[in-house]
Structure 1
Amino acid sequence: MPSKFLIASIFAFLFCFSTIAQEKEKKRKKLPKEVVIDSIIEVKNPINPLSPAKAAFYSAILPGLGQAYNKKYWKIPLVYGAIGTGIYFYVRNNKEYNRYRDAYKRRLAGFEDDEFYFSNGVRLSQPRVTTESLERGQKFFRKNKEIALLVTVGLYALNIIDANVDAHLLQYNVDERLSLAPHYRFNEFDATSNLGLTLNFKF
């Protein structure tokens, strides 16, 4: 009799254990797949490591092309405006330098027929610009055109750097859960103010 009771107890225990396992399995199957996928997998735009190099290469070939590659079209007029201004001042100072140099060479050769000896087609007894002023003018305009050339080259390089940095930042992961913001707090007890930065990260 005790052996029958023991066997029945074992069967009852196994039956209960099997029932509990089946209930747990059913609960697992009832979970929607969307919840599991959304909580584990986060879809992000793929990172292209060659994108910054491409943007810099395009801007090196043609200024503004890298900005167009980054879809920052509003920067293209700024690029051409800056480089165009540098080129304009270089051409202008180079033209004035050539005028003064040609007149100075004529003076050294003993001629008195350069453009500074005339005013509205009338020959003057004394030139409007002296020989010493022609020499100083050459130095002045040569210096200005060299500065304009350096500025133009710098702006051209800046255009390449801007395209490269922009392409890097476009792939930078900006998460809404991470924020950095300035804060200002007035302390009412001692009438002082505190200024600083607040870093928030939401888990």
Structure 2
Amino acid sequence: MFQNIFAQKDSIAVRAKQLQLTNDKYNPLSPTKAAFYSAIFPGGGQMYNGKYWKAPIVWAAMGTSAYLYIDNSNEYKRFRTAFKLRKLGLQDEFTRDDGTVLISEAGLESAQKTLRKNRDLSLLSGVLIYILQIIEASVNAHLLQFDTDDSLSVKPVITPDPLLIEAPKVGLTLKYSF
């Protein structure tokens, strides 16, 4: 004769099994790898994290700053060459054949200062974008490892104060349990 006997599950064993499953998800080297991949190839850390849609944004931002740097640098060189030629008494591209000056010397100097400032700012923005995408990949890799179990939740509740019914008041109470 066979009999089935049912008992409670061992809660310690169940919890240990859950912890083992969550520990398999945790990889302490994941943020380091993401930062490394982003440092070697911009957008690589985002792809390593599985956020493929972020890589084109990184490429567009870095490409834009590189384009602006090159464009401002070329324009700066153009105005700088014209300024040097004019100082030597030679004809530059901003002087017509009949001797009419399209841009004055003060205008050439002002254009050089503005273009140099814009060139430097575009270089700075490119460096900042590069650093920020490395930091973003590392932080995102950290955040992907957080436990987002259904038992972790916030439940806002509005509770009126029975003593002060006439005087409304606003407050915030956070209750959490483990």
Select the structure that is richer in strand: 1
**Among 78, 103, 113, the residue aligned to 1:99:** 78
Q: Which of the numbers 93, 102, 110 marks the counterpart of 1:115?
A: 93
Match of 1:179, SS state, is coil
1:52-201 alignment runs, 5 A limit: 52-112=31-91, 114-118=92-96, 123-180=97-154, 189-196=165-172, 198-201=174-177
Distance 1:146 1:186, change over 3 A: farther
Superposition deviation, residue 144 in structure 1: 0.8
Max Rg structure: 1
Aligned equivalent of 2:29:
50
Partner Cα distance (2:99, 2:118) in 1: 31
CA–CA distance in 1 between the matches of 2:48 and 2:23?
17
CA contact (8 A) 1:90 1:146 kept: yes
Given that 1:55 and 1:163 are in contact with CA atoms closer than 8 Å, whether structure 2 keeps it comes out as: yes
Offset of 1:182 from its aligned partner?
A: 5.4
CA distance in 1 between counterparts of 2:16 and 2:5 reads 18
2:165 counterpart letter in structure 1:
F
Is there any run of 5+ residues in structure 1 with no aligned partner, and where? 1-28
Question: Is contact 1:185–1:195 with CA below 8 Å preserved after alignment?
Answer: no
Corresponding residue pairs, total: 169
Identity fraction in percent? 42
Where is the helix percentage greater, Structure 1 or Structure 2? 1
Compute the TM-score of the two structures, normalised by the length of structure 2.
0.82
